[in-house]
Amino acid sequence: MASRAQQKERQREERLAAERRAAEERAKTRRVAWITGSAVAVLAVVGAVVIATTSGGGAGSGAASASRPAAPPSAAQLSALPRPIAANIAQANRIIDTSIQSKLASLRGVPVVVNQWASWCPNCKAEFGFFQQLAKRYQRQVAFVGLDSQDSRGDAQSFLRGFPVTYPSIYDERASQAHSIGGGQGWPTTIYFNKAGQRTYVRPGGYTTLQSLEADIQQYALNG
């Protein structure tokens, strides 16, 4: 009887020891999973900080730089600009109801760059950051105008909230205004005018680099 009791006690102790080992293994697994998850979370935060601090820094960055709001010029800065350009900038980032012809007439005396775009157009979105940057860079010399063609007004306004620019866009529901100045065949299209109001170039298709847009501004707007 004593031998059988000892055997049962030994079996019980072995079972308890096995249960303790299993519990320790489970606890160890949970600790490893927690440490790994914490490390991944820290790396994700660090990565997000690095991306946030480096995105949009390159000269060729389009959509990335467009996500940063363009600070409007101060009253003092506006007063130093040519009057037609200052009046145009006063309508910055708005969808306006006027004709492209009347807008061009109001800008006579300064070169004008008209960008035909739509919120549904991927290539328009890709190049929008270039226009945002160069409109600010050339704001003392060139007026920029958007032409929101064949688009929903609400979608266009939402688009501009994400990609703010320092110039207005004319609402062109049927693209008739784009057609009237040589555009309207494809999206995007950029039309250039010299300071005498003469059209100097129609450029269909999107710009893929900041440099290519800047070269056209210099050739067809400033020297057209």
pLDDT-derived band of residue 76, with 50, 70 and 90 as boundaries?
confident
The two tokens of residue 45 are: 């935060």
Q: Dump pLDDT digits (tens) for 102-157.
A: 999 999 999 999 999 999 999 999 999 999 999 999 999 999 999 999 999 999 99
What's the rounded mean pLDDT across residues 204-210? 98
Indicate if the pLDDT at residue 23 is higher than 70.
Answer: no
Cβ-contact 81, 155 below 8 angstroms: no
Q: Dump pLDDT digits (tens) for 164-205.
A: 999 999 999 999 999 999 999 999 999 999 999 999 999 999
Higher pLDDT pick, 58 / 202:
202
Indicate if the pLDDT at residue 35 is higher than 80.
Answer: no
Architecture, CATH, for domain 63-222: 3-Layer(aba) Sandwich (3.40)
d(CA 181, CA 184): 9
Distance of CA 191 to the CA centre of its chain: 22
> For the chain, what are the domain ranges?
1-54, 63-222
Burial 102-138 (b: 16+ CB within 10 A, else e): ebbeebeebbbbbbbbbbebeebbbbbbbbbbbbbeb
pLDDT at 120: 98
